[in-house]
């Protein structure tokens, strides 16, 4: 890869190879107006607190979605199966992940989900992602453990029945039920509704795979994102820079998806995003509307996650692990799932 020089010059601490989420904002957004990018609320949507009745905001500071750097040190040991898939994403990264990994699953399950909630339909609004990892030989130096990761586990799951139901639906979808969508095609870093153009790729020092640089294709939109993948091709880290100066482009609707997609159309998705932008998130820090892009404003926060179990293993050949739940207006539902481990799905 280009410009790969001086490998080994700088050693990173163990388990420091990724799972950071960073959102840099160039101040392009308005403090009062909607932020079109990074519209995922890291504070209120820390899919933490699975039905625990605890307001995530009580446990987590509400970092602005556009200026977050999660650098909390790891506090627990993760199972060997831990990979990108069960990394706990936050903020924009979480947005990416639940639109990527989750949309990988959710469109399948959405048709089967008994609840026509905004959660399933939210995913449904997304086209099928094209995201399976490339077949790559595992790197012996690659760590499956996340860095800067704090996990709080809860043994009890207050909505176990609901979770089971949802998992069954996901399982049926994964097995290819009558409503199951076709297998997602390959390639597409992270479908988040925006259009990106790759303008660079670079192999970083000690990186498992090259880092890809994307720009928003919309004219004059300063947003860039950097996608770093793990050895198996899973997205390990996504860093956003700046804010979109335009709304999310409308999603093309797939034939046959209208019915289930209706409750969760892009419009509702935007509504959700707007709701999530309420509060401190989305408030610019240090720069008002029209500020220069590229300003790096960083806030640190700790991820808190509570899950009923570390890994939910189904007999469908896939290893499912719920990595979070978002409480939406007092209606908690299992929402974000990610595929991990077996069969190398992300």
Closest separation in Å from C-beta 91 to DNA = 17
- The answer to whether 10 contacts DNA (rule: CB under 7 A) is yes
Q: Which of 113, 241, 244, 321 binds DNA (CB under 7 A)?
A: 241
Closest separation in Å from C-beta 200 to DNA = 3
Q: Are strands 22-24 and 68-69 parallel, antiparallel or unpaired?
A: antiparallel
Q: Is the Cβ of residue 79 or residue 203 nearer to DNA in the bound state?
A: 203
- The answer to whether 221 contacts DNA (rule: CB under 7 A) is no
Closest separation in Å from C-beta 88 to DNA = 22
Residue 166: exposure state from Cβ atoms within 10 A (0-12, 13-18, ≥19): buried
- The answer to whether 13 contacts DNA (rule: CB under 7 A) is no
154 within 8 A of 306, measured Cβ to Cβ: yes
Q: Is the Cβ of residue 217 or residue 331 nearer to DNA in the bound state?
A: 217
Provide the strand spans (E) within the chain: 22-24, 68-69, 196-202, 211-216, 224-229, 235-241, 312-313, 319-326, 333-340
- The answer to whether 329 contacts DNA (rule: CB under 7 A) is no
Q: Is the Cβ of residue 154 or residue 201 nearer to DNA in the bound state?
A: 201
Sequence-ordered list of residues with C-beta below 8 angstroms from that of 164, at least 6 positions apart, any chain: none
- The answer to whether 159 contacts DNA (rule: CB under 7 A) is no
Q: Which of 53, 77, 114, 198 binds DNA (CB under 7 A)?
A: 198
Q: Which of 144, 216, 221, 226 binds DNA (CB under 7 A)?
A: 226
Closest separation in Å from C-beta 250 to DNA = 17
Backbone angles phi, psi at 99, to 5 degrees: -90, -20
Residue 298: exposure state from Cβ atoms within 10 A (0-12, 13-18, ≥19): middle
Largest interatomic CA distance in the chain: 55
Sequence-ordered list of residues with C-beta below 8 angstroms from that of 92, at least 6 positions apart, any chain: 21, 23, 37, 38, 40, 42, 65, 68, 238, 240
Residue 8 Rama label (left phi>0; alpha psi -120 to 50; beta): left
Site string for DNA, 102-131 (x = CB under 7 A): ------------------------------
Q: Which of 179, 205, 246, 299 binds DNA (CB under 7 A)?
A: 205
Site string for DNA, 276-295 (x = CB under 7 A): ------------------x-
Vertex 50: Cα angle to 54 and 68 (nearest 5): 75
- The answer to whether 202 contacts DNA (rule: CB under 7 A) is yes
Closest separation in Å from C-beta 343 to DNA = 24
Q: Which stretch binds DNA (CB under 7 A): 33-41, 53-61, 173-181, 195-203?
A: 195-203
- Stretch (H or E) spanning 92: helix 91-110
Residues that bind DNA (CB under 7 A): 1-3, 5-10, 196-202, 204-207, 211-213, 217, 224, 226, 239, 241, 294
């Amino acid at each position: 890869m280009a410009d790969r020089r001086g490998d080994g010059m700088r050693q990173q601490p163990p388990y420091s190879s990724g799972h950071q989420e960073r959102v840099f904002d160039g101040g392009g957004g308005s403090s009062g107006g909607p932020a079109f990018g990074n519209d995922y609320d890291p504070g209120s949507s820390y899919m933490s607190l699975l039905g625990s009745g605890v307001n995530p905001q009580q446990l987590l500071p509400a970092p602005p979605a556009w200026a977050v750097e999660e650098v909390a040190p790891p506090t627990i040991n993760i199972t060997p199966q831990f990979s990108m898939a069960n990394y706990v994403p936050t903020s924009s990264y979480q947005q990416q992940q639940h639109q990527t990994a989750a949309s990988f699953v959710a469109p399948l399950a959405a048709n089967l989900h008994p609840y026509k909630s905004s959660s399933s339909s939210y995913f449904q609004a997304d086209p099928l992602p094209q995201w399976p990892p490339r077949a790559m030989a595992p790197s012996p130096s690659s760590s499956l453990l996340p860095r800067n990761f704090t996990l709080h586990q809860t043994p009890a799951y207050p909505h176990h029945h609901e979770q089971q139901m949802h998992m069954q639906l996901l399982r049926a979808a994964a097995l290819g039920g009558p409503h199951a969508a076709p297998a997602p095609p390959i390639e597409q870093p992270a479908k988040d509704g925006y259009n990106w153009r790759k303008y660079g790729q670079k192999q970083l020092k000690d990186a498992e795979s090259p880092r890809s640089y994307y720009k928003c294709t919309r004219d004059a939109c300063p947003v860039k994102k950097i996608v770093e993948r793990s050895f198996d091709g899973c997205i390990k880290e996504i860093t956003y820079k700046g804010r979109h100066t335009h709304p999310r482009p409308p999603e093309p609707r797939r034939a046959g998806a209208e019915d289930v997609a209706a409750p969760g159309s892009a419009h509702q998705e935007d509504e959700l995003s707007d709701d999530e932008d309420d509060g401190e998130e989305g408030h610019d820090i240090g720069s008002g509307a029209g500020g220069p892009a590229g300003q790096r404003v960083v806030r640190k926060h700790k991820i808190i996650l509570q899950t009923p179990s570390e890994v939910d293993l189904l007999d469908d050949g896939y290893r499912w692990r719920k990595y979070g739940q978002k409480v939406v207006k007092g209606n908690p539902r299992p929402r974000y799932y990610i595929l991990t481990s077996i069969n190398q799905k992300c």
